[in-house]
Structure 1
Amino acid sequence: MEVKHSLFGLLLTSSVIVLAAQSALAEVAQQGVPTSNMLRLNQLERPVTSSVDLLAQEPSTAIVVEVTGVRINRTQTGIEVLLETANSEALKPLTRSEGNTLIANVPNAQLRLPDGNTFRQENPVSGIAEITVTNSDPSSIQVRVTGEASVPKVELFDSNEGLILALPTTAGASPNAEAAPATPEQPTAETDEEIEVLVTGEQDGYSVPTATTATRTDTPLRDVPQSVQVVPQEVLRDQQVTRLEEAVRNVSGVTTGDTFGNTRDNFVIRGFSTDFGGNILRDGFRSTGFNTGFNETANLERVEVLKGPASVLFGNLAPGGIINLVTKKPLEEPFYSATLEVGNYGFFRPSIDLSGPLNPDRTVLYRLNGVYENSNTFRDFDQGIERSFIAPVLSWQLGQQTNLRLEFDYLNDERPFDRGLIAIGDEVVDVPFDRILGEPDDVSNLEQIGAGYTLEHRFNENWSIRNAFRFLSSDTFDYRADPVELDEETGILTRNFRSNDDISSSYGTQTELVGKFATGSVQHTLLFGADLFWQNTEGTQRRLPAGLTPDLNIFDPIYNQIPRPALSELTNVVRDDNQRTNTVGIFLQDQIDLADNWHLLVGGRFDILDQEGEDKTEDTTSEQNVDAFSPRIGIVYQPIEPISLYASYSRSFQPNVFTRADGSFLEPERGTQYEVGIKSEFLDGRLAATLAAYQITKSNVATPDPADPDFSIPIGEQRSRGIELDVAGEILPGWNIIVSYAYTNAKVTESNELAETEGNRLNNVPYNTASLWTTYEIQSGDLEGLGFGFGLFFVGERQGDIENTFDLPSYLRTDAAIYYRRNNWRAAVNFKNLFDMDYIRSAEYREAIAPGEPFTVVGSISVDF
């Protein structure tokens, strides 16, 4: 309870401080401060700059304005980007931000430059990593300004020479002499009036055009020959996402897997399990796997999902794909936010998000995310959920070309250990969904500490190097009455008191060099890197001797028949082991722009893995040393600007933990994927769609050795084939949508007479899944800021185990939301499982089936300063 009270006190104190600061700023404003002679927004008759006004214009009569030049000029406060045109008043930019990039879309305009229709300048000034100006379609220009640590602050102006984007820089910084021409300190273009001031640090919109997970470089998704889906910050906010499972259900081909008593994140991507977090990354670093618990969402900027094998960049992984959690970074502008969420089942979750500079020069920035959660569950446990998390981040600009970021996070989680329901015959037992089959005080604890740094240095406008390190330590404990065997005629369930106690620690480091160069007319983005990963785990499982744990009648349960035994009474030690894994990987990748509409991606990785395990119960030690090469090649062709056709081939590898009769480990499992698809952008890039078809084959899967079933041979094979569709973006001003559909046919294609699984479907993999989430916010009038959300989430029938002995029924869940946003505050009510239907999320095995939550209401209010 001390943690609960102290963290709540921190949240309350932070809120009071922020409110006091806001009051002080208001007082200063009343006293008056110096201002420039330039007219401000509230003094102007605003030009047409909103999406509503632009869409109201008749497109058939719009005149396409020619922009004949792009120029970067120095100013007293930074630089300005000038789009030269004789008709600047006709340019009506629409601005939004994505990650650290500000995007200005200028409709009814086209670049007509003398040396090509693309302008690009890297590192033009301290704080700005890149500026690009391109034709996004035949009647629209897109300006992208990428900040080094945060989204840039930008002011837009009309002038007699064209449209100006003014970019202030940090105090004392000066533009790069090589990037900007020698010009007077005063702007060369006489300004007419200010169009818009935009200062933002968060992602805005459902459509995200770029991501780093697929290539480790900031690459437009339309140029990546593989399916990549992004769940941005606005979706996480609109759906009131508090668990990663709620976020990835918006992505095609991703379903919930074995969650180990509802204590871990585990997903199935394109038919293959992520193996308890092994395929879940945090800013590009793999988690430690089984002992990571539920990933926190309070500090997430977005969730990126790369479909298919990712070993070429991230090493030994399952072939279905990866989920990369992109965390929030420090902002250059002060930002303070406090949120309170409450709901039924005693749900209570306050959180804070604070960021800004720590010195006048703004070379040292910070961000602090913290959350506390306390609730019961719909299941009939005495044990509740108590969870606290804090994540401070510090960014330090060591020089104009060098930046260091330091990170720390702490998580403490206590919740019921819940195996869920049970199967009878080929169906889930028909009992109330709140009934537990363990004991009311079954519990799971997790304490986790993470720390790391990222150091980046730019040698010049084309070459940069990055080094990053992450340490993660997890301490997990559980104690439960585990189901063992059910007498289906009597309903008597045999159980056993068991406890796991495990400690895991990992150290990972990554170094990568990125360079851009040309060979003739062909442009290259080269990535060369190496990474190392060390992991140590040790733990035990103890059980009460057989026959001492009371049985339970699942139709008429009686709990607490005997006092819970002390841990010292669990004398049957079935596991006492220590495992060490060391991995070294070297990778090389080249993104080749053969022409403006042809993009080739070629990459390869070589891994060396050293694994050692000690079984103290048997007093044995096993070792394996394996190496593997993982290639990837893909090509993208864009017949017209908004359309990308792509094809790719990629492979993955994952070490096998099973052994032959002679004690040797099996060869690593290998995954091979072939994928083709089409990516499209509509409505000036506001709406994006991806349609993909793929086949993944996973080989060297362990199956029992016919000569000695206690050991294995690597003849198993599993195959997944499917089609996926993802659509996300803005249809009309205020109307957002994210839609997905997947058909997945995953089954065992090779086995033997002992396994008897050939032809079986893989467990927790439905043939069909679909999702729809849409919101609309009123854009003007007395009800401006009032919004509504509606969602449908369909999961088809699945097999509960690899033997296909029981089915999990299909379900359609309905969600809804209503919210109101005004000035700096937002209030919302989210309704989850609106029609209170019973459904099954996933299954571990016949005696462990996870039921879904019933009708749930979550109210929230947030204030930004």
Structure 2
Amino acid sequence: MCLTAAIPVLIAFPANADVVKVTTVLLKQTDGGIEVILETADGASPQVFTASFGETLIADVVNTQLQLPSGDEFRADNPAEGIASITVTQLYTNTIRVRVTGITSIPEGQLIPSSEGLVLRLSTTTHAAAQLGADSTKPDEVSPSVSGGEVSPETVPDAELTAPSAEEPQPQAEADEQIEIVVTAEQESGYRVPSAVTGTRTETPLRDVPQSIQVIPRQVIEDRQIVRFNELADNVSGVQGERGYGGLSQAGFRIRGFSTNFSNLRNGFSDFGYISTRDVANVERFEVLKGPASVLYGGGGAYSFGGGAGVISGVVNTVTKKPLDQPYYDTNATYGSFDFLRSTLDITGPLLSNQSLLYRLNVAYENADSFRDFNENESFFIAPVLTWKINPRTNLTVELEHQQYDGSLDFGFPVERDFLEVPRERFLGEPDFTDADTNSTLVSYNFEHQFSDNWKLKQGFNATFSNLDSDQIFPLSLEDDRRTVPRLPFKTDERSENLTLSNSISGKFSTGAVNHNLLLGVDLARYRYRFDFFRSSIASLDVFDPQYGAQPGSFRFTSGSDNRSRNIGIFLQDLVEVTPHLKLLAGGRFDFYDSSRRNRVTDEFLNEQTDERFSPRIGIVYQPSDSTSLYFSWSNSFAPQFGRRTREDGQLEPEIGEQFELGIKQSFLDERLSATLALYEFTRKNVLTPDPVDPLFSIQTGEQRSRGIELDIAGEILPGWNLIATYTYTDAEVTEDEVIPEGDRPYGVPENSTSLWTTYEIQKGDLQGLGFGLGLLFFGEHEVVLPNTFTLPSYVRVDASLFYRRNNFKAALNFKNISDVTYYLLDGALLGPASPFTVQGTVSFEF
């Protein structure tokens, strides 16, 4: 197996392994390339994990430490034809990274058992010289000359390089010299992620996509100890977290000024999570596509009930963990402020000796109180996954997720300035009438078959079922005394189901000197959301001197709706490589929707309609060097308006989004650090506003515009020093409307915001493995509701961490909101007080 076939991996440390010292790095010229030799003190050959992206080949050597007499890093520039650089660095305390960057393509690699230690043979000629296996060729050794940390390998006579024949027996190394090579389906560790699937529905280098895409990898989730989805917004420019329904832990965001209405993606499938919680236990990474996504995923939104995830201003795609072909076990326990208790288990490996059947199981349990009075929750999550490698070109992955969540529904405060004086822990409901029982089940499969090296068929199916039964009390506006809040109690029964079947064919071909990456597909989707609300009455509450114990009266069935939609989407996309430095991306999608909305109280149909829409995208990428990409794109999006009608009972046109984006993507420090700078203008048209004659109906005269500048930086500055940072400038406002004043800003969107999260782990000495983390978030002043009523002040939040990592063990302390600043999460209708200063301690073991 060729090393260049490897894809990014997550390093899994073997248990009870002694740390191997690498004392010397040598280069040897060969007939087809060069060899990199990591000499070890005792000739041991450690475990190796491989990855590749762009023109770079990576080999992570675990349970090793670099102890060179000449310094902490080995580097060779232009050591052989076709190879731009070779570096050997200490990635983590006990992991060495070998990074080989090609000039125009990925260097092909061969790992060779050797009594000297570890040998990586690199070739830029034929695939025959790059098959994994033993090889007894021994060219003459040459030590590189070092000058200022730069290495210039000397030239030696060519040595014959032969590929092992399938018919000939190959020389076997001794048992203690075997190199264990692990190739998995996991993403590369660290803060920098070089490729993503969300921008093109295929695994594509981010530098080739003419749109801003940011990825939050698992490493950031673990270092920050993120347990709530909306915390992820801190590390992506132009994105803010949305408060969940009744304070539930849900995936709600605002992207470039506008809400996603809880419409997201999960492994590329539509995921409307408004009435169900989401857990991060089985999440590998989050990919955020900023700007219109309808060209690939159709249209949708919470109020359209369309089931689509191509929301107007962007989309968040959750990519879950997949099985590994080597055993890996991880367990951890966290305890923190307000009796927060959480434990997770992650185990994976092969079920059969030939590794044709792989499994992965993630389990999480959480039990916690809250800084909010009378709030508590208990959650259980389980997610098994099976991958069947039917043959070398065909595989099938089947996933199941189930979460049971029992907790409190807490709607926070009404949007009134007076509540800024109310203690943030104050609860406006009743302790004995605040239960939420929600569960969600997800079943999916993904089938892939490669017809050839260039053409692939993919079919995926996803079914998500969510239920929420609740007792809830909704607070209304304060009475004239400015301290008494009226309240409405409800019992609710809410159900949703989302079914999607996706089929696509992708292929690579050439027309003359022009290379094409073609994608053609069809999506079929069906969505249903049903709710019944039973209403009663209850006594008001004094917000400054609450006296709890009131009981609601009898309940009556006051509102209910059954919303259904079906969708067919046909999409076509071509990523064209005109020259090695110039790429064009063009695509379009045609969607057909039909929907219905039935009143469950009167059993009458309120609305039945159909919509169809074409969504295009065009982009260009110019790459003057391997580290720089300049891009421009134009794209459209839409959201059907199924849930509203005009006063004349007319059908409303879909809401339309249009974006122009210009940017640059740049990598630094030998591709260890990357940055994206984007300038954009995004306009929403056909925005619904209340009919001034009858506010129960809508008209479409609204237009809103957002334009701004976004900067994202992520990666490794020095060995052990990781960073992810953002800056956002957003000029968002209402430009046309019959009711909302022109010039009003969308809620929860500051003009300026910036964030930083960085960690450093000591690489050597008595304190090796000790690390520190620091997080800063500046959030400028922002409106609380649209139309604007009052502004919340800016704030600075400080987070920190202290951790220690040694072999298979890690312990960490995370300090969140050290500054104990008071701030609020918003949803456009309520104020949700955010957590004060909290501490979480975590202990984890890997095997």
TM surpasses 0.5: yes
Which residue of 524, 541, 556 corresponds with 2:545? 556
The structural deviation recorded for 1:197 is: 5.8
Which residue of 367, 375, 393 corresponds with 2:368? 375
Which residue of 139, 154, 157 corresponds with 2:119? 157
Q: Which position in structure 2 is the counterpart of 1:347?
A: 340
The alignment status of 1:854 with 2:836, answered yes or no, reads yes
Per-residue displacement from partner, 1:568-587 (whole Å, max 9, x unpaired)?
x211x332111111011000
Structure 1 stretch displaced more, 313-322 or 468-477: 313-322
**1:380 alignment partner, SS class:** coil
The structural deviation recorded for 1:318 is: 2.2
Q: 1:728 to 1:196 in 2, by over 3 A?
A: farther
The alignment status of 1:731 with 2:717, answered yes or no, reads yes
Q: Which position in structure 2 is the counterpart of 1:817?
A: 801
Instruction: Answer whether contact 1:502 1:537 (CA < 8 A) is retained.
Output: yes
Q: 1:91 to 1:696 in 2, by over 3 A?
A: farther
Per-residue displacement from partner, 1:591-622 (whole Å, max 9, x unpaired)?
11111111110100000011111013344311
Per-residue displacement from partner, 1:138-195 (whole Å, max 9, x unpaired)?
xxx855899xxxxxxxx951569999976479xxxxxxxxxx9884556999999989
Q: Which position in structure 2 is the counterpart of 1:624?
A: 609
1:642-657 pair list within 5 angstroms: 642-656=627-641, 657=643
Q: 1:182 to 1:864 in 2, by over 3 A?
A: closer
Which residue of 401, 404, 408 corresponds with 1:409? 401
The structural deviation recorded for 1:432 is: 1.2
The structural deviation recorded for 1:94 is: 14
Q: Which position in structure 2 is the counterpart of 1:781?
A: 765
Distance 2:130 2:795 in 1: 50
Distance 2:335 2:558 in 1: 42
The alignment status of 1:740 with 2:707, answered yes or no, reads no
Which residue of 171, 175, 194 corresponds with 1:209? 194
**1:261 alignment partner, SS class:** helix
Instruction: Answer whether contact 1:650 1:674 (CA < 8 A) is retained.
Output: yes
**1:429 alignment partner, SS class:** helix
**2:697 alignment partner, SS class:** strand
Distance 2:815 2:547 in 1: 34
Per-residue displacement from partner, 1:344-401 (whole Å, max 9, x unpaired)?
21111111001000011110000000000000000011x4110110000000011121
Distance 1:365 1:809 in 2: 51
Per-residue displacement from partner, 1:771-824 (whole Å, max 9, x unpaired)?
100000011111111111010012111111111012222211111101111111
- Aligned residue pairs, count: 748
1:301-320 pair list within 5 angstroms: 301-316=284-299, 317-320=310-313
Q: 1:822 to 1:510 in 2, by over 3 A?
A: same
Instruction: Answer whether contact 2:786 2:828 (CA < 8 A) is retained.
Output: no
1:681-700 pair list within 5 angstroms: 681-700=667-686
| Letter of the 1:434 counterpart | E
The alignment status of 1:833 with 2:817, answered yes or no, reads yes
**2:421 alignment partner, SS class:** coil
Structure 1 stretch displaced more, 437-446 or 94-103: 94-103
**2:475 alignment partner, SS class:** strand
Percent identical: 41
Q: Which position in structure 1 is the counterpart of 2:688?
A: 702
Which residue of 603, 610, 628 corresponds with 2:587? 603
Instruction: Answer whether contact 1:288 1:535 (CA < 8 A) is retained.
Output: no
Distance 1:91 1:641 in 2: 31
| Letter of the 1:768 counterpart | N
The alignment status of 1:135 with 2:107, answered yes or no, reads no
1:275-424 pair list within 5 angstroms: 275=261, 277-278=262-263, 280-291=264-275, 293-316=276-299, 317-381=310-374, 383-424=375-416
Q: 1:553 to 1:611 in 2, by over 3 A?
A: same
The structural deviation recorded for 1:258 is: 4.3
| Letter of the 1:338 counterpart | T
User: What is the TM-score with the length of structure 1 in the denominator?
Assistant: 0.81
Distance 1:330 1:652 in 2: 35
**1:812 alignment partner, SS class:** strand
The alignment status of 1:434 with 2:388, answered yes or no, reads no
Q: 1:856 to 1:553 in 2, by over 3 A?
A: same
Which residue of 721, 741, 751 corresponds with 1:757? 741
Q: Which position in structure 2 is the counterpart of 1:793?
A: 777
Instruction: Answer whether contact 2:798 2:817 (CA < 8 A) is retained.
Output: yes
Q: Which position in structure 1 is the counterpart of 2:303?
A: none
Q: Which position in structure 1 is the counterpart of 2:459?
A: 467
The alignment status of 1:449 with 2:441, answered yes or no, reads yes
Q: Which position in structure 2 is the counterpart of 1:176?
A: none
Q: Which position in structure 1 is the counterpart of 2:659?
A: 673
Q: Which position in structure 2 is the counterpart of 1:57?
A: none
Instruction: Answer whether contact 2:415 2:785 (CA < 8 A) is retained.
Output: no
The structural deviation recorded for 1:837 is: 1.9
Which residue of 38, 47, 64 corresponds with 2:24? 47
Which residue of 72, 76, 81 corresponds with 1:108? 76
Instruction: Answer whether contact 1:507 1:535 (CA < 8 A) is retained.
Output: yes
Distance 1:160 1:723 in 2: 42
Q: Which position in structure 2 is the counterpart of 1:225?
A: 210
Per-residue displacement from partner, 1:396-425 (whole Å, max 9, x unpaired)?
01112110111111001122111112444x
1:551-590 pair list within 5 angstroms: 551-562=540-551, 564-565=552-553, 569-571=554-556, 573-590=557-574
Q: 1:349 to 1:384 in 2, by over 3 A?
A: same
Q: 1:438 to 1:498 in 2, by over 3 A?
A: same
Structure 1 stretch displaced more, 723-732 or 430-439: 430-439
Instruction: Answer whether contact 2:667 2:675 (CA < 8 A) is retained.
Output: yes
Q: Which position in structure 2 is the counterpart of 1:73?
A: none
Instruction: Answer whether contact 2:23 2:38 (CA < 8 A) is retained.
Output: no
The structural deviation recorded for 1:433 is: 0.9
The structural deviation recorded for 1:429 is: 2.7
The structural deviation recorded for 1:243 is: 1.2
Distance 2:202 2:415 in 1: 47
Q: 1:863 to 1:709 in 2, by over 3 A?
A: closer
The alignment status of 1:863 with 2:845, answered yes or no, reads yes
Distance 2:295 2:124 in 1: 45
CA RMSD of the aligned region, Å? 3.3
The structural deviation recorded for 1:451 is: 0.5
Distance 1:303 1:437 in 2: 34
The structural deviation recorded for 1:838 is: 1.5
Distance 2:421 2:399 in 1: 48
Per-residue displacement from partner, 1:203-228 (whole Å, max 9, x unpaired)?
41111111111011111111110001
The structural deviation recorded for 1:289 is: 4.2
Distance 2:167 2:348 in 1: 32
| Letter of the 1:334 counterpart | P
| Letter of the 2:24 counterpart | P
Gaps of 5+ in 1: 1-21, 30-39, 50-62, 70-83, 119-131, 147-154, 170-179
Instruction: Answer whether contact 1:809 1:840 (CA < 8 A) is retained.
Output: no
**1:667 alignment partner, SS class:** coil
